[in-house]
Amino acid sequence: MSEPRIVITGMGWVTPLGHDLATVWSRMMHGTCGMARIDRFDAGTFPTTFAAQVRHFDFTKYVDDPSAHAHAGLNTQFALGAARQAWEQACLGSANELNKKRIGIYLGAGEGVLDFDTYARTNIAGWDEQANRVDGVKWAEAAFEYMTPQHEVEQEANMPVSHIAFEYGIRGPAYNCLTACAASTQAIGEAVSILRRGEADVMISGGTHTMLHVLGVTGFNRLTALSRRNDDFMHASRPFDRTRDGFVMGEGAGIVVLETLDHALARGAKPQAEVLGYGSTADAFRITDMEPEARGPANAIRAALEEAKIDPLSKDDRGRPPVQYISAHGTGTKENDSLETLAVKTVFGENAKSIPMSSIKGMMGHLIAAAGGVELITCVLTIQNGMLPPTINLQNPDPELDLDYVANEARAAAVDTCLSNSFGFGGQNDALVVRRYV
């Protein structure tokens, strides 16, 4: 018996460029940059003072009863917004006869945010700003007061899954993974596997994350992973550029509705695209460094193509490479961009130079666990609209990076099949292949 075909029937996102498919896509096509000074907390003394924040987002517009989610953290709020868009595009809201036990959730969601630092500075008498300390007894008292049962629960990474399940009455399989920057790509791939095994008919999948808080920004600064172009932050994220100096933190959510094709057609849903393949590997190398020959990323790409039954060295019946667009992980760090380029060349051989490849992180920053979900949606919109999103700020070509990175301006192109790459700290590599539904 052949495996069931898996299609995407709904998509939604909340990003630094906007909160709906049409607005964000339009801004991508214009190369809009979503970077700004951090204003969620005082980052004036940090080595990096800017990021790509989600602004003017009101999650209460996306839920039936806002009081049911009154203590939701930002990551959960973003997920609820993206999930509502995907749910409605998939026309699941009118599907009253759906068996909710056959609908599941698999997210790649990061931990929630505890803003105790801001609370402490505001509410603890005797805070010593210069020494960044306070009397231990006062600190403990304030921490006990701050850490309500709701705060304790909402910091858990599985809370977005729980809130979405509650909002829609979903009672099927419910999972969350947190594999760093590869999390939502892995979640979608594993959700596809669940559908193929017959364990569900519909899966809500993707990712959500924010690390735009004191500890998050401090941590990535300590890793020296962030760009420090504080005086030119609109051009700070420069994937594949010779002068790239690190990524820019973003936040948001990207969620899709996945279904078996038979289930989607039986209820009259419109497939947006078909997921063909998924690959996942580990580098088994240093925690914050990629293996220098890019074997892990290359093997993840190969595995996704193999599951999709695509020969990377072949041509299609129109003489094109078998993949016509690659959504790059493309963080703008020296190591990632070089090794992703190497992985693509290793897998696709002579075809590599004929495949356009771009990174949207120059426009909306790195959404960490949510990045892969947003980038898969970008692939679907690329197929539907026949336009490739640009890699902005690519002004100084790196002579060692010699592929087609769709520099600076969107480009018209006929695209039927896309590859989406995600690589995470710790050596987690994941890839998805998505194709036009026919």
Q: What is the pLDDT of residues 233-273, one digit of tens each?
A: 999 999 999 999 999 999 999 999 999 999 999 999 999 99
What tens digit of pLDDT does each residue of 138-175 get? 555 655 565 565 655 667 789 999 999 999 999 999 99
What tens digit of pLDDT does each residue of 172-186 get? 999 999 999 999 999
Do 323 and 277 touch, CB atoms closer than 8 A? Answer: no
379 has catalytic annotation: no
Percent of the chain with pLDDT over 90: 79
151 has catalytic annotation: no
Whether 135 has a pLDDT exceeding 70, the answer reads no
209 has catalytic annotation: no
C-alpha closest to that of 180 among 295, 277, 282: 282
Tell me which residue has tokens 């099949």.
Answer: 417
CB proximity list for 96: less than 8 A, separation 6 or greater: none
CB proximity list for 362: less than 8 A, separation 6 or greater: 33, 237, 238, 239, 330, 332, 390, 391, 392, 393, 394
294: helix, strand or coil? coil
Query: Per the residue annotation, which of 177, 181, 379, 418 is the catalytic one?
Result: 181
Query: Per the residue annotation, which of 33, 163, 366, 379 is the catalytic one?
Result: 366
Q: What pTM was estimated for this model as a whole?
A: 0.93
Do 248 and 371 touch, CB atoms closer than 8 A? Answer: no
CB proximity list for 289: less than 8 A, separation 6 or greater: 335
Domains of the chain: 7-113+155-435 (3.40.47.10), 118-150 (no CATH)
Handedness of CA 87, 88, 93, 97 (dihedral sign): negative
Do 306 and 419 touch, CB atoms closer than 8 A? Answer: no
Query: Per the residue annotation, which of 69, 209, 329, 418 is the catalytic one?
Result: 329
